[in-house]
Amino acid sequence: DPKAVSPRAFPPFTPIEPTGADTLTLPRGYRFQVLAPWGEPFTESGRTIGFNHDYIGYFPLDLHEGGRSSTDALLTINHEYVNPMFVGGDTKGRGAEQIRAEMEAVGVSVVRVRKGRQGWSVVPDPRNRRIDALTPVELTGPVRGTPAVKGATTVKGTVGNCSGGQTPWGTLLTCEENVDGYTKSWEGSGYEAMHQGWVTEIDPFDPQWTPKKRTGMGRFRHENAAVTLAPDGRVVVYMGDDMQDSCIYKFVSKGSYTPGNRAAGRDLLESGDLYVANFGNGSWVLLDYDRNKKLQEARTGDRPMFTSQAEVLADARAAALAVGGTPVDRPEDIEVHPRTGDIYAALTNNSKHGNFFGQIIRWTEKGSDPSALSFLWEVFAYGGPQSGFASPDNLVFDPYGNLWMVTDNSDLSTNPIKAYHGNNAMFFFPTEGPNAGRAYRFAVGPVDAELTGPVFSPDGKTLFLSVQHPGEDSESLDKLRSSFGAQAGSQVPRPTLVAIEGFPGWRGA
């Protein structure tokens, strides 16, 4: 019985087989409930939950009284992108009404949820709100007001919200990933490409606080933001640029975080240093125009590539490659191990290199100090037929230091593993002991869906998970491939958050 042994060596469930079933398949003893599906009204003004749920932030309602409630929380849900067949319904004309519907279905939902006798439910709360593609967002940090953003100080909305992170002072970092598509399809709506592609900080507890884009963290295809603290209290954020042959970054804040000082915390990400990882020699290379000569010397043809730090940050990818940042195979999520401090990153795949399966890597910073400038790395787990998974995407640690990972095989029609991988799945990995790095299949998503945004309640008893884009490859609303999350009497699938219960009382915490 796996429940009788340490969860660090074995999974707390009997692993399941791959399947193509149109449901969320879980091991015996586990169950899920649909919570906060797309289109459900949840704010006082009647706003509805957005589309294609991704990252979920869990903010215990009593966080600022030092509490860690596992039954009452504000959840933040990223809504990564829309499928016009489902949202707005107009796939051809794309008139103003269609574009407006799309703009209102992306961004972030802040949703209060509570666990009662009947399980979890969404509850009315003045903090329930939507931040969408039209919400005013302030640009802060070195790029604010510069020519790189056409002088802007406040911009429209946040889009491409993929994964994210939570800060110790109780705010959300939501990451703007595939923003190019939006600015193209919303052309003519005053949508500015350089205003997207940043990390946006949102305070779920304070609807009056204008969301802020932290430009010091660079502009690229921001996948995620894994937050930790250096021994001296400086905030360190690990970030991936999810594109083929792009890099992994870390931001180190200038100031230090004082536990409990929430107001000061909210300014910490405004200034600091941005580094890019060089996996050749295990070093962090500074991306600072004034302090790194290579950035001053970089040329495009006979012209300087950059003339200011604002330009470096606005095209951080080019700057990273110019100073020797190592291009890797599409960095997806990154997480910091809650006990060892090791950093884990999912390199999902890279068809250019024939890397169809991906890897999970991990590294240890020198002296286990997240602000250190050198590190040692290794491969933690290889995707492929042997291990049973492919294309690792989101990662999350449970409170005991076990790793959980979800796959994203969506875009790889040529992926040789797809035929026997079944639908996208969730896997468990011990991180220590004889089975470290072994993958155990915990969940399989419905047809066409990706499982995204996993987060555990602090007691480890509830896993919140997003079921993103079920039925996405349907030809039309008459030929639906999935009905997952559909309303009673309807067959139309809905992206949704689910709450999974059944986790045992864990040992060895």
Q: Which positions touch Ca ion (CB under 5 A)?
A: 162, 332-333, 393-394, 396, 408
Asked whether the CA dihedral 45, 468, 223, 306 is positive or negative, the reply is negative
Closer to Ca ion by Cβ: residue 241 or 365: 241
**Coil, helix or strand at residue 149:** helix
Task: Give least dist CB 162 to ligand FEO, A.
Answer: 3
DSSP string of 244-281? EEE-EEEEEEEEE--TT-HHHHTTGGGSEEEEEEETTT
Binding mask 106-145 for ligand FEO (x = CB under 6 A): ----------------------------------------
By beta-carbon proximity to ligand FEO, the closer residue of 223 and 398 is: 223
Phi, psi of 224 (to 5 degrees): -155, 175
Task: Kindly state whether residue 242 participates in binding ligand FEO, applying the rule CB under 6 A.
Answer: yes
Size of the site for ligand FEO (CB under 6 A): 6
Q: Is 102 an interacting residue with respect to ligand FEO (CB under 6 A)?
A: no
How near is the Cβ of 312 to ligand FEO at its closest, in Å? 23
Question: Which residue, 11, 40, 131, is CA-closest to 494?
Answer: 40
Q: Which residue, 422 or 453, has its beta carbon nearer to ligand FEO?
A: 453
Closer residue to ligand FEO in complex, CB, 80/448: 80
Q: Which is nearer to ligand FEO, 26 or 77 (CB)?
A: 77
Q: Which of 27, 79, 80, 111 is the binder for ligand FEO (CB under 6 A)?
A: 80
- Let me know: does 442 contact 18? Beta carbons within 8 Å: no
Amino acid at 61: L
80 binds, among ligand FEO, Ca ion, none (CB under 5 to 8 A by kind): ligand FEO
Determine, following the binding rule CB under 6 A, whether residue 176 of this chain makes contact with ligand FEO: no
Residue 472 partner contact from ligand FEO, Ca ion, none using kind-dependent CB cut-offs of 5 to 8 Å: none
* H/E element, 283: strand 283-286
For residue 332, state whether it binds ligand FEO (rule: CB under 6 A): yes
Judged by CB, which is closer to Ca ion: 102, or 333? 333
**Of the two residues 217 and 295, which places its CB atom closer to Ca ion in the complex?**
217
Minimum distance, C-beta of residue 452 to ligand FEO, in the bound complex (Å): 8
Q: Where are the beta strands (DSSP E) in 117-256?
A: 119-122, 129-131, 136-140, 154-156, 161-166, 172-176, 199-202, 212-214, 226-229, 234-240, 244-246, 248-256
Closest distance of CB 389 from Ca ion, Å: 14
Cβ(240)–Cβ(314) under 8 Å?
Answer: no
- Minimum gap (Å) between residue 281 Cβ and Ca ion: 27
102-104-107 Cα angle (round to 5): 100
Q: Give 253 or 424: the residue with its C-beta nearer to ligand FEO.
A: 424
* Residue 333, contacted partner among Ca ion, ligand FEO, none, CB below 5-8 A by kind: Ca ion
- Cβ 164 to Ca ion shortest distance, Å: 8
Q: Which is nearer to ligand FEO, 201 or 450 (CB)?
A: 450
**Chosen from ligand FEO, Ca ion, none, partner binding at 102 (C-beta under 5 to 8 Å by type):** none
Bridge partners of residue 199, in order along the sequence: 175
Q: Does 61 bind ligand FEO (CB under 6 A)?
A: no
Q: Please state the closest distance from residue 13 (CB atom) to ligand FEO, in A.
A: 26
**Two tokens at 361?**
């890597």
Q: Where are the beta strands (DSSP E) in 388-456?
A: 392-397, 403-407, 425-429, 440-444, 450-456
Strand locations in 297-424 (E):
299-300, 303-304, 328-329, 331-336, 343-347, 359-365, 375-382, 392-397, 403-407
The closest of 175, 136, 170, 180 to 156, measured between CA atoms, is 136
Q: Please name the residue ranges forming H helices in 179-315.
A: 180-185, 262-265, 293-297, 309-314
Exposure string over 477-491, b if 16+ CB within 10 A, otherwise e: eeebbbbbbbeeeee
Cβ at position 486, least distance to ligand FEO in Å: 24
User: What phi, psi does 121 have (nearest 5°)?
Assistant: -145, 155
Give the nearest distance from C-beta 333 to ligand FEO in angstroms: 8
Q: Is the CB of 365 or the CB of 393 nearer to ligand FEO? A: 393
| Dihedral Cα 346, 158, 465, 380, nearest 10 deg | 10
Choose the contact partner of 177 out of ligand FEO, Ca ion, none; CB within 5 to 8 A by kind.
Answer: ligand FEO
Our CB check for ligand FEO shows the closer of 80 and 335 to be 80
Amino acid residing at 159: V
Q: How many CB atoms lie within 10 A of CB 100?
A: 15
CA angle 354, 347, 445 (to 5 degrees): 95
Q: Does 223 bind ligand FEO (CB under 6 A)?
A: yes
130 burial (CB, 10 Å; 0-12 / 13-18 / 19+) is: buried
- From the list Ca ion, ligand FEO, none, pick the one residue 345 interacts with, judged by a Cβ distance below 5 to 8 Å according to partner type: none
Choice from 77, 131, 162, 199 touching ligand FEO (CB under 6 A): 162
- Closest distance between ligand FEO and the C-beta of residue 242, in Å? 3
185 or 210: CB nearest ligand FEO: 185
Q: Residues with Cβ < 8 Å from 107, sequence gap 6 or more?
A: 50, 79, 130, 131, 132, 133, 135, 157, 158, 159, 161
Q: Applying CB under 6 A, does 177 fall inside the site for ligand FEO?
A: yes
- State the minimum distance, in angstroms, from the CB of residue 55 to ligand FEO: 9
Contacts with ligand FEO, residue ranges (CB under 6 A) = 80, 162, 177, 223, 242, 332
